[in-house]
């Protein structure tokens, strides 16, 4: 018999976080999180998202054995400002037993109905900077630190339980050598001259920090019109600066400013930490930190994490300035492969931006919804 247990104590939350370590123990494509970082993100005293959100964490048990987990999330900004009455759920993992997945999703639905919400959607996180989507294609590719990996049977469980596709995301990759400078060097010069733009490069993290708030404001402006976008709040900016910026090589952060010194575009690329995280196996000590620092310095694969362009400058060739700077950096570091984070299938603008690099779709993921 399957029973559900709400994880409230530190011990139970650790069980919640570590359940996938057993579920994917022999899987060479799954990338484990750092356990303490994951626990911190669920800590209401540490993660400022809880100023505007609520979350419940449930474990499914078969006797004494944990066989599944799910986080039920309500984002009040989404409900009150966007008037989207959505029950979110994420961190959804389970053994291949329909009784388990059904029990967990029914618990999410129960909370949604109690709060008079209209539908549930997942897997999603607290905000737009969290992981999103269940993998439906590309199971034989290693995951990343910013995406969820899952078994192929997950998709079947969603559909058997009456969920329908809500959003489709694509993940693309291309060799760094595809970034032929002839594609953007000339346009780079024209765009900078026409609009009075200048590139900004960094060598130290402390140089980035004073401009990070402006970058997050631009991020909000860039994606405001996308479906289900929840803006980053003021209190979240400090949290994300600490959590993400210090983790990224400063030379992988590129800014573009206009003649008035206003930030009008930015991009963030991360070295791939996938293999380092597998070696760390959830722990920074005694050797995990060494593997991560080694990857930060030496990884020949990179992930395009974020890119933002002021709406006033979109479709004016500003990306040529960014790509020109990355070409120089990647050439110096001998980067082999470039990966992109999940992008909405409906986002035509992003497809146009990357078309000259001949990207190949190597993974697909989606979110599912069900009416309450």
Judged against a pLDDT cut of 90, whether residue 294 lies above it is answered with: yes
Q: What is the CATH number of the domain that holds 294?
A: 3.40.630.30
Is residue 370 situated within a structural domain?
Answer: no
Judged against a pLDDT cut of 80, whether residue 91 lies above it is answered with: yes
**Within this chain, do residues 128 and 265 fall inside the same structural domain, yes or no?**
no
Give the separation between CA 350 and CA 348, rounded to whole angstroms: 5
Judged against a pLDDT cut of 70, whether residue 35 lies above it is answered with: yes
**Within this chain, do residues 250 and 235 fall inside the same structural domain, yes or no?**
yes
Q: What is the mean pLDDT of residues 206-223?
A: 91
Is residue 253 situated within a structural domain?
Answer: yes
The per-residue pLDDT for 234 is 85
The per-residue pLDDT for 232 is 85
Is residue 281 situated within a structural domain?
Answer: yes
**Within this chain, do residues 102 and 46 fall inside the same structural domain, yes or no?**
yes
Contact (Cβ atoms closer than 8 angstroms) between residue 332 and residue 178: no
Give the structural domain span for 211.
175-362
Encoded tokens for 351: 């497809």
Give the C-alpha distances (Å, rounded to integers) separating 358 from 89, 181, 211, 321, 353. 34, 14, 32, 19, 11
Judged against a pLDDT cut of 80, whether residue 277 lies above it is answered with: yes
**Within this chain, do residues 132 and 16 fall inside the same structural domain, yes or no?**
yes
**Within this chain, do residues 163 and 205 fall inside the same structural domain, yes or no?**
no
Burial 96-111 (b: 16+ CB within 10 A, else e): ebeebbbbbbebbbeb
Beta strands 343-344 and 164-175 are: antiparallel
Judged against a pLDDT cut of 70, whether residue 227 lies above it is answered with: no
- The residue among 170, 191, 207 that closes a domain is 170
Q: CB neighbours of 367 closer than 8 A, spacing ≥ 6?
A: 121, 122, 123, 124, 132, 133, 134, 165, 166, 167, 169
The whole-angstrom distance between residue 254's C-alpha and the CA centroid of its chain comes to 19
The per-residue pLDDT for 239 is 84
Give the separation between CA 72 and CA 92, rounded to whole angstroms: 9
Under the banding of pLDDT at 50, 70 and 90, the label for residue 303 is: very high
Is residue 241 situated within a structural domain?
Answer: yes
**Within this chain, do residues 164 and 219 fall inside the same structural domain, yes or no?**
no
- Mean pLDDT is lowest, of 10-19, 63-72, 139-148, 226-235, for 226-235
Under the banding of pLDDT at 50, 70 and 90, the label for residue 228 is: low
The per-residue pLDDT for 340 is 94
Q: Is the pTM of this model over 0.85?
A: yes
**Within this chain, do residues 131 and 192 fall inside the same structural domain, yes or no?**
no
Q: Number of structural domains, the chain?
A: 2
Is residue 368 situated within a structural domain?
Answer: no
Range among 235-244, 315-324, 350-359 with highest mean pLDDT value: 315-324
Encoded tokens for 328: 């120089």
**β-sheet bridge partners, residue 371:** 119
Q: What sign results for the dihedral spanned by CA atoms 325, 326, 330, 333?
A: positive
**Within this chain, do residues 285 and 327 fall inside the same structural domain, yes or no?**
yes
As a whole number, the mean pLDDT across the chain is: 93
Q: What is the mean pLDDT of residues 251-278?
A: 96
Give the C-alpha distances (Å, rounded to integers) separating 322 from 71, 132, 344. 37, 26, 22
Is residue 204 situated within a structural domain?
Answer: yes
Is residue 367 situated within a structural domain?
Answer: no
Share of the chain above pLDDT 70, in %: 99
CA dihedral 363, 289, 291, 131 (to 10 degrees): 0
The per-residue pLDDT for 241 is 82
- The residue among 150, 170, 190 that closes a domain is 170
Is residue 57 situated within a structural domain?
Answer: yes
- Mean pLDDT is lowest, of 94-108, 153-167, 233-247, 323-337, for 233-247
**Within this chain, do residues 329 and 180 fall inside the same structural domain, yes or no?**
yes
**Within this chain, do residues 188 and 165 fall inside the same structural domain, yes or no?**
no
Residue with tokens 């049977």: 153
Give the separation between CA 82 and CA 255, rounded to whole angstroms: 30
Judged against a pLDDT cut of 80, whether residue 322 lies above it is answered with: yes
The per-residue pLDDT for 70 is 98
Residue closest to 104 by CA, chosen among 197, 18, 174, 7: 7
Q: What is the mean pLDDT of residues 343-372?
A: 90
Q: What is the mean pLDDT of residues 160-175?
A: 96
**Within this chain, do residues 339 and 210 fall inside the same structural domain, yes or no?**
yes
- The residue among 149, 170, 191 that closes a domain is 170
**Within this chain, do residues 182 and 326 fall inside the same structural domain, yes or no?**
yes
């Amino acid at each position: 018999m399957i029973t559900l247990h709400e994880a409230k104590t530190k011990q139970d939350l650790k069980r919640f976080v570590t359940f996938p370590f057993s579920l994917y123990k022999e899987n060479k494509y799954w990338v484990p999180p750092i356990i303490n970082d994951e626990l911190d993100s669920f800590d209401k005293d540490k993660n400022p998202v809880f100023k505007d959100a609520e979350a419940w964490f449930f474990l499914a048990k078969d006797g004494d054995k944990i066989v599944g987990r799910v986080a039920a999330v309500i984002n009040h900004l989404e409900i009150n400002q966007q008037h989207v009455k959505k029950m979110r759920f994420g961190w959804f993992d389970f053994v291949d037993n329909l009784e388990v997945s059904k029990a967990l999703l029914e618990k999410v639905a129960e909370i949604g109905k109690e709060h008079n919400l209209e539908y549930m959607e997942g897997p999603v996180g607290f905000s737009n900077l969290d992981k999103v989507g269940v993998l439906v294609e590309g199971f034989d590719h290693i995951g990343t630190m910013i995406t969820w990996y899952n078994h192929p049977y997950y998709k079947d469980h969603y559909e058997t339980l009456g969920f329908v596709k809500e959003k489709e995301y694509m993940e693309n990759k291309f060799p760094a050598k595809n970034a032929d400078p002839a594609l953007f060097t000339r346009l780079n010069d024209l765009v900078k001259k026409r609009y009075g733009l200048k590139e900004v490069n960094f060598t130290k993290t402390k140089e980035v920090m004073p401009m990070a708030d402006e970058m997050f404001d631009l991020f909000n402006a860039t994606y405001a019109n996308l479906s289900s976008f929840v803006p980053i709040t003021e209190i979240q900016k400090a949290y994300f600066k600490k959590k993400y910026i210090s983790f990224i090589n400063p030379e992988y952060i590129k800014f573009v400013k206009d003649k008035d010194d206003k930030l009008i575009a930015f991009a963030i690329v991360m070295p791939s930490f996938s293999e380092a995280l597998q070696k760390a196996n959830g722990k920074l000590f005694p050797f995990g930190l060494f593997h991560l620092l080694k990857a930060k310095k030496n990884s020949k694969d990179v992930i395009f994490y974020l890119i933002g362009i002021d709406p006033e400058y979109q479709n004016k060739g500003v990306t040529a300035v960014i790509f020109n700077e990355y070409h120089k950096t990647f050439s110096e570091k001998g980067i082999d492969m470039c990966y992109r984070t999940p992008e909405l299938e409906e986002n035509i603008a992003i497809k146009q931006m990357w078309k000259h690099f001949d990207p190949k779709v190597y993974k697909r993921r989606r979110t599912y919804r069900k009416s309450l």
